[in-house]
């Protein structure tokens, strides 16, 4: 399945949906942490980007100090967005049935966080926003 179509489907079903409150905060933390680690590995392995720099650049400095080479980081992330996005969705999806994400709600929250990050990436890189209300 084309990654753009997969992204649109995930975005439509997740970003704009409501999720019930967590029933197991500990499970959510483990699931969220496993997801963040996976996402971080994707940015690292597809361009050598440190997650704190990715967050800073995506937020234009509002969620961390911009690195001195922020324009280079932004350009590199945008040039590598296809393999990064593919890696992120593959890695996060692999957690769906893992012990780290024991409940459906925990995994849905992780997906929402992931889609938010990727939407920020695509918005920064000129690929638009994908939320169908």
- For the entire predicted model, the pTM comes to 0.74
Query: In this predicted structure, what is the pLDDT of residue 2?
Result: 40
On whether residue 88 sits in a domain, the answer given is: yes
On whether residue 104 sits in a domain, the answer given is: yes
On whether residue 113 sits in a domain, the answer given is: yes
Which domain does 77 fall in, by range? 24-124
Give the whole-angstrom CA distance, residue 18 versus residue 8.
Answer: 17
Query: In this predicted structure, what is the pLDDT of residue 128?
Result: 52
pLDDT above 80 (res 130): no
On whether residue 8 sits in a domain, the answer given is: no
On whether residue 71 sits in a domain, the answer given is: yes
pLDDT above 80 (res 6): no
Contact 109, 20 (CB under 8 A): no
On whether residue 6 sits in a domain, the answer given is: no
Question: How many residues appear in the chain?
Answer: 133
On whether residue 10 sits in a domain, the answer given is: no
On whether residue 44 sits in a domain, the answer given is: yes
Cα-based angle 52, 55, 56 (whole degrees, multiple of 5): 85
Total of domains in the chain: 1
pLDDT in tens, 52-97: 999 999 999 999 999 999 999 999 999 999 999 999 999 999 999 8
Residue 115's nearest CA partner among 42, 16, 2, 1 is 16
Mean pLDDT score, 107-132:
82
How buried is residue 60: exposed, middle or buried, by Cβ count under 10 Å (0-12/13-18/19+)?
A: exposed
Rounded to the nearest 10 degrees, what angle do helices 51-58 and 25-45 cross at? 90
Query: In this predicted structure, what is the pLDDT of residue 29?
Result: 83
Residue 20 confidence class, pLDDT cut points 50, 70, 90: very low
Give the whole-angstrom CA distance, residue 77 versus residue 54.
Answer: 8
Tokens of 12: 């439509």
pLDDT higher at 71 or 26: 71
Mean pLDDT score, 43-56:
95
């Amino acid at each position: 399945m084309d990654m753009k179509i997969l992204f649109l489907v995930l975005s439509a079903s997740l970003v704009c949906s409501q999720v019930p409150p967590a029933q197991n905060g500990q499970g959510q933390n483990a699931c969220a942490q496993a997801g963040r680690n996976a996402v971080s590995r994707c940015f690292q392995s597809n361009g050598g980007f440190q997650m704190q720099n990715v967050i800073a650049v995506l937020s234009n400095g509002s969620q961390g100090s911009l690195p001195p080479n922020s324009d280079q980081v932004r350009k590199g992330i945008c040039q590598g967005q296809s393999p990064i996005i593919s890696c992120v969705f593959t890695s996060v999806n692999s957690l769906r049935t893992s012990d780290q994400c024991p409940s459906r709600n925990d995994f849905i929250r992780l997906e929402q966080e992931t889609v938010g990050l990727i939407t920020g990436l695509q918005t920064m890189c000129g690929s638009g926003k994908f939320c169908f209300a």
